[in-house]
Amino acid sequence: MKTLTSTCLSMLVATLVIASASAQENGQSNPPTLYERLGGLPAISVVVSDLLDVVVPDPMLNENPAIKASREQVPAPYLKYQVTAMVCEASGGPCKYHGRDMKSSHAHLNITEAEWQRFITLFEEILTQHQVPAQESQELLEIVDSTKADIVKS
């Protein structure tokens, strides 16, 4: 009986070692997505919510009458939902963004380079406030920057 128990224990230990090695190997071959590194949907939704809480009432951005009118027509909770879904999807998460494309949703706003820069500044401040690491912040800023041509009026 002692030999059987010892053999079973040895097999269990060997199985755990192999499983652990396999898990480590899989983890190294599949690095975490930006979505995972950001903390998933809960963390993304908090950052987006806080960002829009400062962007929506921003006096400089609301000097643009088209932006101000849009803020009055589009409820902030809906905007937060759409932006959260977009960031979730763009960062490799499971969400699907079903809103309009950036070009058609921003064309009527006549966003200037100065307004774009103001938004980026506010975004960077929120990322800093939430202590988003430099690498992840940079990746998020690159994602946002990829939309600039469709948002800023040339």
pLDDT in tens, 74-87: 999 999 999 999 99
d(C-alpha 25, C-alpha 47), whole Å: 32
DSSP annotation of 83 reads: H
Query: Tens digits of per-residue pLDDT, 103-119?
Result: 999 999 999 999 999 99
User: Degrees (nearest 5) of the Cα angle 144, 82, 99?
Assistant: 90
The answer to whether 136 touches 37, Cβ cutoff 8 Å, is: yes
Query: Domain limits of the chain?
Result: 1-31, 33-151
Distances (CA, A) of 28 to 15, 38, 137, 140: 20, 18, 22, 23
Angle, vertex CA 11, rays to CA 6 and CA 13, nearest 5 = 95
Assign domain 33-151 to its CATH superfamily.
Globins (1.10.490.10)
pLDDT band at 6 (very low <50, low <70, confident <90, very high): very low
CA distance to 14, 32, 34, 38, 137, per residue, from 27 (Å)? 20, 8, 15, 17, 23
Predicted confidence (pLDDT) per residue in 113-143, tens digit = 999 999 999 999 999 999 999 999 999 999 9
